[in-house]
Amino acid sequence: MKFLDKLKFKSSSKTIQVKNNLNRSSIYSIPVNGLDGRPISLSDFKGKYVLFVNVASKCGFTPQYKELQSLQTEFQNKLVVVGLPCNQFANQESDDAAKIQSFCERNFGVTFPLSEKLHVKGSKQHPLYQWLTKKELNGKSNSSVKWNFQKYLINEKGEFVDFFYSITKPNSSKITKYLK
């Protein structure tokens, strides 16, 4: 992702403007591992919107897994949902990788990628969530993750679009308007 800075220099009686492209970290270069420990290459999702969602198996919002899978199925040519298990909110994702995978497949038919458990806030915050929550990295907005099932939408060019709190359902027009 490139951002434009204009630098002004005075040379005798003229002001010269120089355009300087600064490279900020690309979301596609951030390493993320799947539940199986193998890398998930975010660059594989170039050309599609990506909805990143911190998920948990024992949360009041857990039924959103079904809606996330439905969204993934409906917009499969335009969107990839990525579930990111997190145990930072009331110990609601304490299971190991195998149990998380089994739970998601058995109860909600989840086929979208799931990452290994990661931290979405605090001193151990995963680099993906650093990018998602810091304007200096994503170029658009600061935020903090308030609870499980908070959603972050990235466009097909890898640019930050917006974030949505847990109460926003995956099939909400707040999200789907970008996909239609």
Within 8 A by CB and 6+ apart from 30, the residues are: 42, 127, 128, 131
The residue annotated as part of the active site, out of 32, 42, 59, 86, is 59
Inter-residue contact 147 to 89 (CB < 8 Å)? yes
Distance CA 119, CA 127 (A): 9
Both tokens of 61, joined, read 């919002």
DSSP state of 62: T
Amino acid present at 73:
T
- Rounded to whole angstroms, the Cα distance separating 158 from 180 reads 18
Q: Is 59 a catalytic residue?
A: yes
Alpha-carbon distance of 132 to 129, in angstroms, equals: 5
Residues 6+ apart with CB under 8 A from 162: 141, 152, 153, 174
Helical (H) or strand (E) element with 54: strand 49-55
> Which residues participate in catalysis according to the annotation?
59
